[in-house]
Structure 1
């Protein structure tokens, strides 16, 4: 099972982050890993997944007008989770070598959108906060069709639509957390993904 990025892919990711601040790449991950990640979502969806909240710390609360997905945090030590986390670790090291970003810590959760679920437009980090530097979104949805909805819309800082990204299996989206508002459009079928964020040393968790 492949558990790291090759150098040419890391070069491509680094170049596109410098040029435009985001990148979308397909079919990087071993199909066995993608299948295992998807199976974990649906085998535990009704047991360990919890409705997602907004806000941070003691101010966290559920708001179904903003988002309606359910989540489960990835856990180091779980074989399936470790396959994905190893890939993200190699991404961190590769980008630090190329761009000197100082990426230090990574957190991520599974996200399950049942039919009708969405996540309205938001930004993952406040300007200058450095609590989240780089966002990753990985999709696990085979045979996705336009009629299924669930697109990830990525906007620039002037609120212009940059990309309308279908959540097809094996696709990884990476973007600078402070720069790009984004949203998940309502889905008509079950939609599974992993959302993650790289931080720098000394930044705060749970924001």
Structure 2
């Protein structure tokens, strides 16, 4: 299927999904949509993941720019930044841009740019509890995670755990934590500053896309790029 046809299909099918995400963000600050990524896009991304050479993934670190360091006590996953130079990644970026447009139009978030990467957790890999942005930084505003793991079971581990700051009465929340199984097509969106979260150790190869919408924090002629 051509990229233009895939993109056309995505743009035509997302209104109810985007509305649900927007409503959840207003009500709770997070949104979890199981098996929600358009099937065509999920298939393309799964194909790309299977074709990526192992050496393209690099050890993930913490911090940005000069503060970036590798710390095995905090995270042990590998990442590959998405550039949009393939059919699958181009369609993914188009989908993210469509979500950005919808949220800006309906929630007036002022989302300016988007960055994302593929992530790979091998057996035993984890990411300890952290936030994607610190309050007041004005950097990452909204976090997006999409999972690409077929036939994932509870025995495979690798769950995303989100910790709400306040107790919420919900069927998916136990012991004041939200547990998300990383099954293919599941989409998680949450306010980057508000929710500490972690990835539990995976017991087999675990793949996902992690992305962030950002504000424009450029000042004068000093450009603040996404990555």
TM-score by length of 1: 0.93
String of CA shifts for 1:87-117, please: whole Å, max 9, x gaps.
1101000011110000110000000000000
Comparing 66-75 with 31-40, greater Cα deviation is found at 31-40
**Gap regions ≥5 residues in structure 1:** none
Alpha-carbon distance in structure 2 between the residues aligned to 1:70 and 1:38: 17
TM-score using structure 2 length: 0.85
What is the alpha-carbon distance in structure 2 between the residues aligned to residue 51 and residue 62 of structure 1?
7
Question: d(CA) in 2 for partners of 1:184 and 1:42?
Answer: 22
Match of 2:68 among 50, 60, 75: 60
Q: How many residues align?
A: 207
Quote the residue 2:144 is aligned against.
Answer: 136
Runs of 4+ in structure 1 over 4 Å off:
none
CA RMSD after TM alignment: 1.8
Paired residue secondary structure (2:207) = strand
User: How far apart, CA to CA, are the structure 2 residues paired with 1:9 and 1:30?
Assistant: 10
Q: Are residue 88 (structure 1) and residue 96 (structure 2) matched?
A: yes
Decide which structure has the larger Cα Rg and report it. Answer: 2
Single out whichever of 161-170 and 105-114 deviates more from structure 2: 161-170
Q: Which residue of structure 2 aligns with residue 47 of structure 1? A: 55
Alignment pair present for 1:191 and 2:206: yes
Query: What stretches of structure 2 of length at least 5 have no aligned partner?
Result: 1-5, 168-174, 219-223
1:120-141 CA-to-partner distances (Å, cap 9, x unmatched) read 0000001011110000000001
After TM superposition, the structure 1 = structure 2 runs for residues 104-123 of structure 1, keeping only pairs within 5 Å, are 104-123=112-131
State the Cα distance separating 1:29 from its structure 2 match: 2.6
Q: What's the counterpart of residue 75 of structure 1?
A: 83
Aligned to 1:3: 10
Alignment of 1:129-168 (within 5 A): 129-157=137-165, 161-168=176-183
Alpha-carbon shift at residue 32 of structure 1 (Å): 3.4
> In 1, Cα distance between the equivalents of 2:76 and 2:47?
21
Q: Which moved more, 1:4-13 or 1:19-28?
A: 4-13
